[in-house]
Chains A and B, each alone.
Chain A
Amino acid sequence: MSNETEHVALFPSKDVQPAVPEVIHRVPQGSQFAGLYARELLRTFRNPWVLVITIVQPFMWLAFFGSSFANVPLSALEALLHIHIQSYLQFLLPGVLSTSMLTVGMFGAMSTIQDKRFGYMKRILLTPTSKTTVYLSKALGSATRGLVQIPVMIVAALAFGVHLYGDPLMWAGWVLCLVFLALGFSFLFLAVTASSTDWQTPGVISNFLMMPLMFASGALFPAANFPSWMATIANWNPVTYAALFGRGVVVNGTADWLYLGYTAIFAGVMALAGTLVARKYLKVE
């Protein structure tokens, strides 16, 4: 074998070993990440039903939730929501997009648990692929899956005749807010389920997180109407800031860039903490 001879020539005695052993005939580490990430996406979007549901769901959100106040006069809504709007959907769109990022981590967590159960995690980790790479690829994979909803839902809103303000830069900022939110929650989910091998865990955690973070945020209803304890949660809830940024853009054509910073900090902290957790606790089987 060519490896064998090369190896023997490099290290003639078994007691002599260089401090940092050389890596043989390999491409950069990004290859492992690329492979794992591609696998996540292909596995998801090759299933036609995943695509159909991903596209249909935003329409249903807007159709059902958006119609709940159809018979309420706009002025009454404006008084309730503390904002001047052209339609309830205009208010709702940024909120629904923000809250839908709450559950994206569940996909990555489920795919990770499936890999543990079917042993594929062993196949990955018996190659020179680190747990950090596995963790990051799963998180990015599930975040990507969630982000597909953004263009679909915006098109859906336009189809429902919603007028949206803002300039391209603001819109880019808004999308970035949602990207950070999706990444942050994916990192969080995967870290929390790193040591789990139970199918039920991601669902249970998703339900548990969903309720407080969805309603204790400014995403669906303005925090001004909340009792103080709930307003406190909303103040710390990153969903709030992605929703407020988006609402500023589409309703008023203004952007509060500080909110983008908050969501970026959330994603950054989750990435760092999650990576540390996954390196130590990501189970193989």
Chain B
Amino acid sequence: MLEDAIDATGITKTYGPITAVDHVDLRVPAGGVFGLLGPNGAGKTTIIKVLTGLSELTAGEARVAGFDVRRYPMQVKQRIGWVAAEVILDDDFSGWENLWLQAKFQRLSDWQGRAKELLAYFSLEDRKKDKVSTYSTGMRKKLEIALALLHEPQVIFMDEPTIGLDPGTRRMLWELITGVNREYGITIFLTSHYIEEADALCGLVGIIDQGRIVALGTPADLKAKVSGDFIEIETGETVDEGRFRSVPGVQEVHIQGATWVLKVTRAEEVLPRLFDALKPDLIRRINVEKPSLESVYMERTGKRIDQAESGVHDYRKFYANVRRARR
């Protein structure tokens, strides 16, 4: 039986008065793809830093690839690969030289064969002698993943692997990540603030907010836990709240600026009744939100992931009320 690739208990990291990671428990089974989903500043990168031994844990214990990160950081580092959010390569060197340096750092003896194999896999062969500074963003990302794979790691940490990439390159990377996981059998631990990314790639998702894991499970399980849909309606004139409340199936009503946010049992059933209750020409915009990892996040934290950091917490109060009402 394989043990967990990552097994962390109560891991905590503080920087002075700031608690970046707050008693997080994580278990990632070997061979899986785990996604840590949350807004910027939630503590995702810090979790990668403490799990990889780059930063020291303030409290808690973590085993990665079978080794305690505190006691055997070098053993952990031999068994993990790392892909940075910002693509970190030595631009003064060629693709092949970057692989050579990585092989030196990992103390590999026979690395050339593997390096060639990886360059072929990532279709970088014909550019291997060119300086990395001449590569496109997608190529740089691919080379970085090749570096992470060179020493046959058991776990690869990918920090925001598709941040700042165009949709085409992102899709290509998704396929590569899935392929690497399947073909090389490597456990992948990735962080993201893209809901669709976590949904598409990860067998297991942890949702993180302000240093704490607020939900953990498979994407399907997490979505199943959110009961009901959300309907957003913008109306032309002022509408009395009572008119929404009187519609059967509407559980909660809240106004956010000019937009009404309704929590309903099932949008398919409630929408026709809503149209009956309101004059259709009164409706300017309507938006239906089915259960998604986003709604899991909204339900647990009261805000949208993309708004969490900006300070525009449109939905916060409303969902906080929803939560309170449920208890």
Chain B residues with CB under 8 A of A4: 2, 30, 154, 185
Instruction: Please name all residues of chain B whose beta carbon is closer than 8 Å to the beta carbon of A29 when the two chains form the complex.
Output: 107
9-residue interface stretch from A57-65, A125-133, A177-185, A211-219 = A125-133
* Minimum CB–CB distance for B76 against chain A, Å: 9
**A135 nearest CB across to chain B (Å):** 15
Number of A-B residue pairs at CB separation under 8 A: 111
Closest residue of B by beta carbon distance from A284: B54
Nearest-Cβ distance from residue B189 to partner chain A, whole angstroms: 13
Give the residues from 13 to 67 in chain A that come closer than 8 angstroms, CB to CB, to chain B: 14, 17, 21, 23-29, 31-32, 34-36, 38-39, 42-43, 46
- Interface size on B (CB < 8 Å)? 46
In the complex, which residue of chain B has the Cβ closest to the Cβ of A285? B54
The complex places the Cα of A180 from the Cα of B101 at a distance, in Å, of 28
Q: How far apart sit A35 and B90, CA to CA, in the bound complex (Å)?
A: 13
| Contact partners of A31 in chain B: CB under 8 A | 104, 107
Is A23 a contact partner of B78 (Cβ separation < 8 A)?
yes
Taking the closest CB of chain B, its distance from the CB of A4, in whole angstroms, is 6
- The residue that A2 contacts in the complex, of B7, B54, B75, B152, with Cβ under 8 A, is B152
Among A14, A26, A35, A127, point to the contact of B63 (Cβ < 8 A): A14
What 13 new A-B contacts, CB under 8 Å, besides A31-B104, A46-B92?
A1-B152, A1-B186, A4-B154, A14-B4, A14-B7, A25-B108, A26-B106, A26-B108, A29-B107, A35-B100, A39-B101, A122-B88, A125-B54
Minimum distance in angstroms from B221 CB to a CB of chain A? 26
Interface check B140, CB cutoff 8 A: no
Can you pick out 14 interface pairs between chain A and chain B where the beta carbons lie within 8 Å of each other? A1-B152, A1-B186, A14-B66, A25-B109, A26-B108, A28-B107, A32-B104, A34-B104, A35-B103, A43-B90, A119-B84, A123-B82, A123-B102, A126-B54
With contacts A2-B152, A31-B104, A127-B105 known, is A21 near B54, CB below 8 A? no
Check if A26 sits within 8 Å of B78, measured CB to CB.
yes
Q: Is the CB of B108 within 8 A of A27?
A: yes
- Chain B residues near A284: list those with CB within 8 A: 54-55
Contact, CB under 8 Å: A35 / B75:
no
Q: Using A4-B30, A8-B2, A124-B105 as known contacts, say yes or no to A21 and B88 having CB atoms under 8 A apart.
A: no
The smallest beta-carbon distance between B112 and chain A, in angstroms, is 13
The residue of chain B having its C-beta at the shortest distance from the C-beta of A2 within the complex is: B152
Residues of B within 8 A of A46 (CB): 92
* B contact face: mostly helix, strand, loop, or mixed: loop
A residues contacting the other copy or chain, number (CB 8 A): 40
Question: Chain B residue with minimal CB distance to A127?
Answer: B105
Residue numbers in A under 8 Å from B88 (CB-CB): 118-120, 122-123
Query: Which chain B residues lie closer than 8 Å to A21 at the CB level?
Result: 67, 72, 75
With an 8 A cutoff between CB atoms, is B3 at the interface? Answer: yes
Q: In whole angstroms, what is the CA distance A124 to B107 when docked?
A: 12
Contacts of B109 in A (CB 8 A): 25-27
Q: Mark B171-209, 1 if CB is under 8 A from A, else 0.
A: 000000000000011100000000000000000000000
Q: Is B80 an interface position by the 8 A CB rule?
A: yes
Q: Which chain A residue shows the least CB distance to B147? A: A123
List A contacts of B147 (CB < 8 A).
123
